[in-house]
Structure 1
Amino acid sequence: MGNALKRSTLRSCGTMTTNEQEDAYPPAVCPIDDCMELVAHSHLLRHIMSAHMNSSHPSKLIAEQTQLREVTTGAVTLLMLDYHRLPLGRDLCLAVLIWRGDGRWDLSVPQRDLSQSVQALSLHVPVLVMVCRTTWKSLLTPPCSRPGPNERRDVDRELGKLLLIWLLCPAIRRPVAVTLGIINSELKCQQRQRLLLRNFATRVHINHFLTAPDPYFLHIEEEDLEELCDSGQSAVFLELVINGELQPQPQLAN
């Protein structure tokens, strides 16, 4: 009776129960490179850890330095960007940040079926730091016009290389702001941008990325990275801060 009353109260307050959240967000394809496995929002962390972070697994779809990091709102996380070693044209996961959230448990579905060693993270929000080293030509070529699997294309010789960086998570009920920056070991900042976490099940069309200020992607040219690292004399880092849930703006009185 108490649980039924609690569920009724949650619905009357406009908050979905866990089961209702899972029904509202069906499974989606894993966002890491060519992994085609359908993943439930409640099992994203379990899938990433078992399929892409297990050293005994043959998958090469995740960057070598990928690790699990527990983070809090406002804390600064630094991740090394060894961009020269990244293969071209692959969506890789640089790190998985386990965000404690802002103390409101209803932001996302709990992560389920975790191993005992990480069971305490079930109410945290997993945030995938995604990176793709690509070229403007690859980015602007429609899928229907791209070379077939048997056609030769020397992507390494293409000019205009750049890095795309974005952050993915399970479906969330309220927008969450993040700040990304590109800095070197002398703390010189090349670029800093405020973005939003994005539901891993959604896709962003390239036209939106090109024609409007994009709230989901940070991109930086490799020429700028070379200048920042002083031709290899300095390391380059991704500086990341999860700022927290965006607060609704108060309505102005008429």
Structure 2
Amino acid sequence: MARSPRRITRRDIRKPDQFVAVTGEIFHFVKQKRKPFIGAAAAVVLALVGLWGWDAYAQRQNHLAAKDYVQGVNLYHAGKYADAVQRFDKAKEYTLSSYSAPALLYQANSYLALGDPAKAAASLEELLQQERKQSLLRQLGLLSLAYLHETAGNCKEAGPSFAEAEKIVAPFTDEAILGKARCGMETQDLKGALESYRQYLTSYPAGDRVGEVTIRVQELEAKVAASGGK
């Protein structure tokens, strides 16, 4: 038997439905928590403004650094090394930019061209402090510093830089291996030098210096054998 529909009374009409009730509860809760809500909203807005401001600041730094960096590179290639150093000094001050570390590498080369290896080394050390990632730029900085020490006859300082540069997966790993081998010979670490030269032949069988390195390996093998393997 069909049930007759429930009769709606005046009391039912006056009673708020579920939507109105829930909305009222939310409104009441927000009213009670108005200050915390406003504070949280303000914090979100401030965070968004801060992020936008930081991004704008970083972009401006990059733009200003690029200007000084490009001018410095042009001066360097024009042979005006002292002027280039000054430009690179300005570019490296924008530490948030992507031009700061490359500016230090160019600055080191400018100091070398001016015959000031001490300042060149200082620029390279600053570069390595700034560029912590295992990148091509760090490898170039390490190799440049190693070459600087090697040229000065200080292979004890050059060796560790060559060794660290070798560990970075980048285009000049072969140069790092050869540099480490040369310093091994210079410091009379013949077994270490032999190991490095062998590593070069294994890693770069079609390398440009395979012929030269093969001769070095043969010479070192004879010397190590003559010294009783020491």
| TM exceeding 0.5 | no
Larger-gyration structure (1/2) = 2
Answer 1 or 2: which has greater strand percent. Answer: 1
TM-score normalised per structure 1: 0.23
TM-score normalised per structure 2: 0.25
Answer 1 or 2: which has greater helix percent. Answer: 2
Q: Relative CO higher for 1 or 2, CA cutoff 8 Å, sep ≥ 6? A: 1
